[in-house]
């Protein structure tokens, strides 16, 4: 926590982080990611009954979409909301942070549509944690792998700390 400015303020308040998961193979990291997110002071420790997309939006202080696959990226950039995740994102209160972690094959990442769609999400005010260059599960080498769990967790801590400072001002 020493590397996170304002970490003391995180302990004073409980945070609700809604994690969205898409069909990328990087979803294999989800149990480890959630486990590490639960180590953040003030983080929720239990699950509640299923709720609708608006209730989830109201409940969460921050939304993390990790991984964000090419399919869901395209849907969100176009305003399509045909499942619970895309409905929550469409209903998201843009005064609250939404962080996304793209993950897809290198060729998909390099497609011109991806850059346009990424720009659209950033124009909505969403925060990107960039993908990384590595050997992908498919065997290709290049950009497209989801950021490391530690990187994601540190960014969530940073954004929560900044967001709590803004709300207390």
Residue range 75-116, pLDDT digits in tens: 999 999 999 899 999 999 999 999 999 999 999 999 999 999
Annotated active-site positions, please? 138
pLDDT for the residue 11: 52
pTM of the predicted structure, to 2 decimals: 0.70
120 occurs within a structural domain? yes
Residue, of 136 and 51, whose pLDDT is higher:
136
pLDDT for the residue 50: 54
Say how many domains are in the chain. Answer: 1
- For residue 25, is it left (φ>0), alpha (ψ between -120 and 50) or beta? alpha
**Does residue 58 surpass a pLDDT of 80?**
yes
Looking up residue 29, the CATH number of its domain turns out to be 3.40.50.1950
99 occurs within a structural domain? yes
Residue, of 58 and 44, whose pLDDT is higher:
58
pLDDT for the residue 35: 87
Q: Are 34 and 28 in contact (CB under 8 A)?
A: no
pLDDT for the residue 169: 41
1 occurs within a structural domain? no
24 occurs within a structural domain? yes
**Does residue 10 surpass a pLDDT of 70?**
no
42 occurs within a structural domain? yes
Rounded to a whole number, what is the distance in angstroms from the first to the last CA of the chain? Answer: 22
Structural domain including 147 reads 7-168
pLDDT for the residue 47: 59
Residues 14-51 have pLDDT tens digits of 777 888 888 888 888 988 998 888 888 877 666 555 55
Q: Which residue has the tokens 């991806």?
A: 114
CA-CA distance, 16 to 34, in Å (whole number)?
12
CA-CA distance, 35 to 40, in Å (whole number)?
10
């Amino acid at each position: 926590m020493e590397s996170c400015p304002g970490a003391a303020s995180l302990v004073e308040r409980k945070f609700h982080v809604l994690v969205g998961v898409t069909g990328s193979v990087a979803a294999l990291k989800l149990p480890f990611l959630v486990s590490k997110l639960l180590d953040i002071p003030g983080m929720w420790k239990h699950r509640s009954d299923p709720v609708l997309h608006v209730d989830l939006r109201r409940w969460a202080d921050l939304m993390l979409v990790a991984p964000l696959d090419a399919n869901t990226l395209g849907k969100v950039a176009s305003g399509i909301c045909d499942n619970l995740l895309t409905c929550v994102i469409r209903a998201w209160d843009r005064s609250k942070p939404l962080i996304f972690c793209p993950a897809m094959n290198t060729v998909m990442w390099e497609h011109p549509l991806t850059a346009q769609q990424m720009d659209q999400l950033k124009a909505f005010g969403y925060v990107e944690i960039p993908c990384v260059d590595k050997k992908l599960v498919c065997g290709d080498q290049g950009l497209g792998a989801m950021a490391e769990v530690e990187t994601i967790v540190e960014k969530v801590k940073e954004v929560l700390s900044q967001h709590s400072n803004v709300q207390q001002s």
